[in-house]
Chain A
Amino acid sequence: MTATLETQAPRRRRLGRLSESRNGLGFLFMLPAAIFLLFFLTYPLGLGVWLGFTDTKIGRPGIFVGLENYQWLFDDPVFWLAVFNTIFYTAFASIAKFALGLWLALLLNRHLPFKNFFRAIILLPWVVPTVLSAMAFWWIFDSQFSIISWTLMQLGIINQPINFLGDPWNARWSVIAANIWRGIPFVAISLLAGLQTIPQSLNEAAAIDGATSWQRFTKVTLPLLTPIIAVVMTFSVLFTFTDFQLIYVLTRGGPVNATHLMATLSFQRAIPGGQLGEGAAIAVAMIPFLLAAILFSFFGLQRRRWQQGND
């Protein structure tokens, strides 16, 4: 009987089997999402990678040139300056965001008067559109009307305005400061959420066990917070490494490329500069760094032995 069925409708039978098997059905349901992902994630990425191997310019389709763009970049001091800037920017901004964010989270986790008010306030830098806050910083760092220079001059500490964005090192620190200001809410609020999952009784038990408040922090709070720190800092590093808007509004990479990040340089070369292929190659060069950050977090994020088992 099975044999007759098989000969009569082999196609129907195969479809039927697909819809009955667990994996087959799962595959069917995943198909739309997979196609969507493939198209909207992989296509632009693939296109970018492909462009990096061509000499495409705006308005002129390019031809495949192999590694020429990369060879060219390898000898380009501006590219290497941007790599240095990006690492410098990411490292300092991330460390500062982590330290200040953790500090703020610890403060907000205590019983403060107006606690909810402060918790809301702290989100402000994050809800303001980046371009808007960048423009505010642009005024704060203005070479003539800077409020910082003005205050310091009124206090008699300096006698001429600081050239925040005109001097290479001043500019680097200034954009880092703006990035820290903008990135702290994410870190602080996420870590605060993490802190609130730590039961108060653990701290009390540690206090009874003889821990000083510093020991309570290093031996109870911090170890319990590490899984969340790993997630938060991975995202923070990724956001910082790929930052574009702040720099582009504040300095456009200047002065003399001192604040060009890989993202801004890539855009600069590709769109205003017209060298699509070269810009794409710079963007592709960011991928290994980002992969490294993701791998780092992957290993950092693995469930530790103490997290396994049921509650």
Chain B
Amino acid sequence: MASVTIDGVRKSYGSHEVLHGVDIGIEEGEFVVLVGPSGCGKSTLLRMLAGLEHITAGRILIGGRVVNDLPPKDRDIAMVFQNYALYPHLTVAENMGFSLKLAGASRAAIAEKVRPAAEILGLAHLLDRYPRMLSGGQRQRVAMGRAIVRDPQVFLFDEPLSNLDAKLRVTMRTEIKNLHQRLRTTTVYVTHDQIEAMTMADKIVVMHDGRVEQVGAPLELYDRPANLFVAGFIGSPAMSMIRGTLAPDGSFAAADGTRLPLADTGRARAGQPLVYGVRPEAMRLGGSVPLTVEVTEPTGAETHVVGRMGGTPITGVFRDRISVAPGGTLDIAIDPAAVHLFDAEGGQRLTA
């Protein structure tokens, strides 16, 4: 186990800069998820941690030691690749024991390490198979087994579940989380799936266009997104965002004149263009805000309503069973304490 510090790290390919100064601190034993849309530089950052990409500027420390110029094998990390990168000519057991064999361990010593790892992952009966003879989920487990056997300071995962079907993805998500709780090895996990990030992480790092937008615990990001990007990225269905300004009476005036309740105006100034953010579950039936219904989606436990409020498309989630014809209107109450106010220009959060 080791802490990881990423300090002002930049990456350029030629004259094209893809990471513009990234700072992240990772505690010993923490499970950190890097999440962000495709192309934002998550894999690049992870590969720099692994030593597979040169660090253009800044420093990376693993366990307090600067590793910028250390080759991958001296960084004491293990990585699980998106395509698993299993050696096709080696059996499961040989794949898992490859690093030990390179280090010159005896057959007995290798077997002693491989067996328990295989048992943890339910691979014990597959040890003599070759990767081609395994299913996707089994290959994924072998890739994790190979990492576990190395007993590294840090685990790195690059979208390890993206090649699996939806159901298996949920199972493996739990398994990886379990594994982390058992081994307590510092883990950096890359994904573009915010659900994966929310469910697995101790700490989420939201990245966008080569920059860190926000770092925090999953619920912290959910409850207090620092800017419009994080607010829109975290949460499903997404937060509804309505443009407008402050009304003289201290409520919010949407572009079409609809008044929405506010508990706290924060740093918002009169006349400033604002975005009013409200999570789907912060709406209840029985209030004074009109919601024009376009589609209702009953899921059984709750009903999702897609419609327009203040002239803007929004989504609400209600515990009630709702039957309103498309085009009809619902009267909605919004919990003012759950409202987020953002600066429409810079995108920064204005409420506390």
Q: Which residue numbers of A lie inside 8 Å of B, CB to CB?
A: 199, 201-202, 204-211, 215, 219-220, 223-224, 304-311
Contact = CB atoms under 8 A, between A and B. Distances in A.
21 contacts: A202-B87, A204-B50, A204-B72, A204-B79, A205-B81, A205-B85, A205-B87, A207-B51, A209-B73, A209-B98, A209-B99, A209-B102, A210-B99, A219-B98, A219-B102, A220-B87, A224-B88, A305-B130, A306-B130, A309-B132, A311-B132
B107 interface: no
B77 interface: yes
Interface residues of B, number: 26
A310 B88 CA distance: 11
A306 B132 contact: yes
Given A210-B73, A309-B133, A204 B52 contact: yes
A308 B51 CA distance: 33
Given A207-B52, A207-B71, A211-B102, A310 B132 contact: yes
A311 B130 CA distance: 11
A5 B131 CA distance: 58
A224 B131 CA distance: 13
A201 B71 contact: no
User: Which secondary structure characterizes the binding site on chain A?
Assistant: helix
Contact of B50 (A202, A208, A305, A307): A208
Contacts of A204: 50, 52, 72, 79, 81, 85
Contact of A224 (B89, B102, B103, B130): B89
Most buried by B among A202, A215, A310: A202
B231 interface: no
Given A219-B102, A220-B87, 9 more contacts: A202-B85, A202-B87, A206-B98, A208-B51, A208-B73, A209-B73, A210-B103, A306-B90, A308-B133
B123 to A, nearest CB: 16
A92 to B, nearest CB: 30
Nearest to B132: A309
A199 B50 CA distance: 18
Nearest to A203: B85
A160 B132 CA distance: 62
A305 B90 CA distance: 10
Contacts of B130: 305-306, 308-309
A225 to B, nearest CB: 10
Contacts of B79: 204-205, 208
A208 B132 contact: no
A209 B132 contact: no
Contacts of B329: none
A208 B85 CA distance: 11
Contact of B85 (A201, A305, A307, A311): A201
Contacts of A210: 73, 99, 102-103
Nearest to A305: B130
A311 B90 CA distance: 15
Contacts of B78: 208
Interface string B84-123: 0101111000000011001100000000000000000000
Contacts of B50: 204, 208
Interface in B119-157: 130-133, 146, 150
Contacts of A199: 83, 85
Contacts of A305: 130
B141 to A, nearest CB: 16
Contacts of A220: 87
B169 to A, nearest CB: 20
A215 B98 CA distance: 11
Closest 8 CB pairs of A and B: A309-B132, A201-B85, A209-B99, A205-B85, A210-B73, A309-B133, A306-B130, A208-B72
A223 B130 CA distance: 14
Contacts of B103: 210
